[in-house]
């Protein structure tokens, strides 16, 4: 074999590089085209969609600073939607949400109570919703103004 390649060291090196390149390319093609398994637990087919993602509370009177609103949402996915937790950006905002799964095509609501007792002027508050939705987390906002009369 050494006689066959004698004086052709460069050709042997190129042959090896070509073989390695073909192997690497084939590996990328095979594994790169692999379709995700639909039973893969990392892929959620639940999807949350809000009717509105921002609520305007308008002008609030400092003498009666509490108000209640709700965010309506829909499960537009193919699996039940489960809300795990909702974080509020302020202790002045409290929420309640469904503790049961929302079936595909069904709707639910998140009740929000805003207590602006210690707030004057403009305010913005966020709610971060943690669920099994394909997005993982969703953020909605409420805002308004508290006027002292």
Q: Which residues of 54-87 are buried (b: 16+ CB within 10 A; e: fewer)?
A: ebebeebeeeebebeebbebbbebebebbbeebe
pLDDT tens for residues 52-92?
Answer: 999 998 888 877 778 999 999 999 999 999 999 999 999 99
Residue-averaged pLDDT of the chain? 83
82 vs 7, residue with greater confidence: 82
Q: Report the distance separating Cα 93 and Cα 126, nearest Å.
A: 9
CA distances from 43 to 28, 39, 47, 48, 72 (A): 23, 8, 11, 14, 24
Instruction: Note the pTM of the prediction, 2 decimals.
Output: 0.68
Does the pLDDT value for residue 36 go beyond 60? no
Say what the pLDDT of residue 64 is: 78
Q: Report the distance separating Cα 107 and Cα 2, nearest Å.
A: 76
Give the Cα-Cα-Cα angle 70, 74, 80 (nearest 5 degrees): 120
β-strands 54-61, 83-88 pairing: unpaired
CA distances from 81 to 20, 94, 104 (A): 47, 21, 7
Does the pLDDT value for residue 33 go beyond 70? no
Does the pLDDT value for residue 129 go beyond 80? yes
Q: Which tokens in the block code for residue 27?
A: 């590996």
Closest residue by Cα to residue 87 from 126, 38, 37: 126
pLDDT tens for residues 82-125?
Answer: 999 999 999 999 999 999 999 999 999 999 999 888 888 999 99
């Amino acid at each position: 074999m050494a006689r066959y390649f004698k004086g052709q060291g460069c050709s042997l090196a190129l042959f090896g590089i070509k073989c390695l390149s073909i192997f690497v390319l084939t590996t990328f093609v095979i594994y790169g085209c692999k379709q995700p398994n639909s039973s893969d637990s990392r892929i959620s087919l639940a999807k949350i969609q809000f009717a509105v993602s921002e609520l305007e509370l308008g002008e609030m009177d400092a003498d009666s600073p509490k108000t209640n609103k709700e965010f309506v949402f829909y499960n537009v996915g193919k699996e039940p939607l489960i809300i795990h937790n909702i974080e509020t950006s302020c202790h002045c905002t409290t929420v309640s949400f469904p503790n049961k799964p929302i079936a595909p095509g069904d709707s639910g609501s998140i009740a929000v109570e805003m207590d602006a007792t210690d707030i004057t002027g403009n305010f913005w508050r966020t709610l971060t919703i943690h669920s099994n939705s394909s997005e993982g987390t969703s953020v909605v906002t409420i805002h308004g103004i508290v006027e002292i009369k």
